[in-house]
Amino acid sequence: MTAVGQPVRQPAGRPVRQSAPVSAAPDRAPDRAPDRARDRAPARGAAAAKGRRLVELDVLRFVAAFAVMSFHFMAASKSLWDEYPTKLFEPVARLTTLGILGVELFFLISGFVILMSVWGHTVGEFAVSRVSRLYPAYWFAVLMIFVMYRFSGVAGFDPKLSDGEYLLNLTMFQGAFGVGHAGGVFWSLWVELRFYVLVALFSLVGITLRRCLVFLAAWSGLALLAELTQNETLVFVFMPRQAPYFIAGMAFFLIHRFGARSGAFMPWLLVAAGYGMSLYAAMERVGERVRLVGIKHYPAPPEAVVIAITVVYLLMAAVALGWLRWVRWRRLVTLGALTYPLYLVHQTVSAVVIPAYRDVVDPWPLVVITMAVSIGLAYLIYRMVDKPGQRWLRARLGALLDRFRRSRPRGGGGSSRTTRAIPAQSPEASVP
């Protein structure tokens, strides 16, 4: 849940000298010593489109968010309509039930974008980028949910949290303490945070192509072990139901960046492994809901899940191979920008609008109105909260990082390095 939102830029068009780790420590510049020739392969497509914005990822983010919104409004929430929504929207039920897998598309995109974000940056710079990206809109969403359930008669999706639990939700670490999430989709942000920690720890040893391949292969094996053993610690750390998407997304980025020279078949082998594990994870996730309400009320058979996951992987392969470079309409970037706020607040909007008008407005026009209100509110949050909030938080965290670096004793005359521009790319995220 990329995590989502900001425009994503392709790596610069100069030859990729992936000769050095990203960072040996969170506050030190990357080592520039030469490495193996394969880690210096030129970035495919970068020279031809220097600094080109990956608009195709912005579009895919919005597709993922719209799929999740359609799932919540038209397939998942009987309490909203006082009726099974798949009965009200039967003509599209086979599509909207698969909207739950929009989260999986977010995780794939996040794997791609997060590896791109950390490559060439220190752990501190990566942390500043992620915190400034995730928190402004998230804080607003938590406060909005708190105010709504404390001071109105709205009851749908009420998380029933205490004031202290709402405060803990502001940290985004409530999942670590067994506290419920203020918003129904916030669980995916906790998954994203754990993914970021793994990437940050990996970056401490230095990110190179060869090390990426080893890291992804090791994570795949450990995720499989966690799934087979169901050991709580292994499941918590290696996230077997979400790891396949992150791993495949990172492998897709390697293909995008290094092309055919990225260790020959290894990135594609990692994608294939992720695809196989993803099919199992997706069928289990959708199957749980089918078992809960029955296939009649949730028409999502296994073959439909296989098709959906296959389409998602094909779309990401098209991005990695540059087949979607023709998607260049600049206004589409706005769709990617408002995706994260939309993901955060759409359920809250539906809890207000649908129960209030379901008895006087037909379901089809009402769901269109609710979607329009959700998208409109998301745009306002992006322009008035998210965008300025990111800028403000990134500047201040960047200044703190620079001050921390300057305060540390340095070898070789005590020289210090000022903070480079903090990347402003989106997660997910992110974000399921």
Question: What pLDDT does residue 52 have?
Answer: 65
Quick one: what percent of the chain has pLDDT higher than 70?
81
147 pLDDT above the threshold of 60: yes
Q: Is 423 among the domain residues? A: no
Of 2, 41, 35, 43, give the one whose Cα is nearest residue 19.
35
- CA distances, 348 to each of 66, 107, 128, 184, 354 (Å): 15, 22, 28, 9, 10
* Structural domain containing residue 377: 37-407
- CA distances, 235 to each of 2, 110, 179, 193, 194 (Å): 22, 20, 18, 15, 11
Q: Is 340 among the domain residues? A: yes
Structural domains counted in the chain: 1
CA dist 97 and 226 (Å) reads 28
Q: Output 19 or 92, whichever has higher pLDDT.
A: 92
Query: Hunting for tokens 């959906």 — which residue is that?
Result: 308
Q: Is 425 among the domain residues? A: no
CA atoms within 13 A on the CB side of 101: 28
Q: Is 18 among the domain residues? A: no
- CA distances, 170 to each of 58, 138, 159 (Å): 26, 8, 14
| 363-422 pLDDT per residue, tens | 999 999 999 999 999 999 999 999 999 999 999 999 999 998 888 766 544 444 444 555
Question: What pLDDT does residue 277 have?
Answer: 98
Of 100, 103, 133, 138, give the one whose Cα is nearest residue 117.
133
Token pair belonging to 1: 């849940």
Q: Is 29 among the domain residues? A: no
36 pLDDT above the threshold of 60: no
4 pLDDT above the threshold of 80: no
Q: Are 28 and 420 in contact (CB under 8 A)?
A: no
Q: Output 329 or 312, whichever has higher pLDDT.
A: 312
20 pLDDT above the threshold of 70: no
Q: Is 422 among the domain residues? A: no
Question: What pLDDT does residue 133 have?
Answer: 94
Q: Is 15 among the domain residues? A: no
Q: How does DSSP classify residue 182?
A: S
Q: What is the DSSP string of 138-179?
A: HHHHHHHHHHHHHHS---TT-----HHHHHHHTTT-GGGGTP
Question: What pLDDT does residue 231 have?
Answer: 97
Of 370, 365, 421, give the one whose Cα is nearest residue 398.
421
Q: Are 83 and 224 in contact (CB under 8 A)?
A: no
- CA distances, 375 to each of 126, 226, 347, 396 (Å): 29, 38, 12, 30
Mean pLDDT check: name the lowest of 87-101, 187-201, 213-227, 246-260.
Answer: 246-260
Token pair belonging to 283: 């069928």
CA atoms within 13 A on the CB side of 205: 11
Mean pLDDT check: name the lowest of 26-40, 176-190, 213-227.
Answer: 26-40
* Average pLDDT of the residues in 243-251: 98
Q: Is 419 among the domain residues? A: no
* Average pLDDT of the residues in 208-234: 97
Question: What pLDDT does residue 259 have?
Answer: 79
